[in-house]
Every structure is written in structure tokens, then in C-alpha cells.
Amino acid sequence: MKSYRNQNEELDLAIDELVRQRNLKFDELKQQLALTYESVKPVNLLNQALVDFKESSEIKSNLLQSVVSIAGGYLSKKLLIGKSKSTFKKIAGYILQYGITNFISKNVDSNSHT
């Protein structure tokens, strides 16, 4: 009879240990879920994107190249064509803007690699 009582006590201890491990893993899972939930909030995603932007010189360089080329194309269109009611001049202005934007973009890109 004594062996049955000893086996029951061992089984109870093993069950208690498994319950404790399950509770510990469940608490860890809840903590991980909370961290994941926080990390996918839009505000946190935006903050991380800004941190990545600050740390990456390549992104800054590409953004600067894009801004310079778009601004150059837009300003050249405004200076050469101005405000016009003529459809032909508007189309010519957009073509000019597109061409100058591409020209500036290629020149800024080729200058940055040298």
C-alpha cells in the first residue's frame, strides 16, 4: 500500500510541476502578445520608420535626389511655360517638366556614384 501512496504523491508533484510550467509559458505568451500588439500600432510603426530614415544615409540621398529632380522639373515648367490656357502649351509644359525631371535625376544619380 505504501508504494501506491508514494506513486500518487510523485504523480501529484509531477502534475503540479506541469501546471506551473504551463502557467509560466502562458504568462510569457501573454507578454509576447502585448509586445507584438504594441509594435504593430501605427504610431510605433511610424516612429520606427522615422528612426530607420534617420539612420539610413541611402534613403536620405534617394529622397534628396527625388526632391531635387521633381522641383527642378516643376520650376523649369513654370519659368518657361508659365500659366497658360493653351492646351498645347500645357502639354508641352508637362513634357518639358518630365524631361527635365529625368535629366536632373540621371545627373544627380551619376554624380553621387563618383
Radius of gyration, CA atoms only, the chain: 33
Cα gap 18→21, rounded to integer Å: 5
Q: What does the pLDDT read at residue 16?
A: 96
- Cell output for 85: 490656357
Q: What does the pLDDT read at residue 15?
A: 96
pLDDT digits (tens, 9 = 90+) for 32-49: 999 999 888 888 888 888
CA distances from 113 to 55, 72, 81 (A): 20, 20, 33
- Cell output for 44: 510605433
Check residues 28 and 48 and name the one with the higher pLDDT: 28
> Which pTM does this prediction carry?
0.42
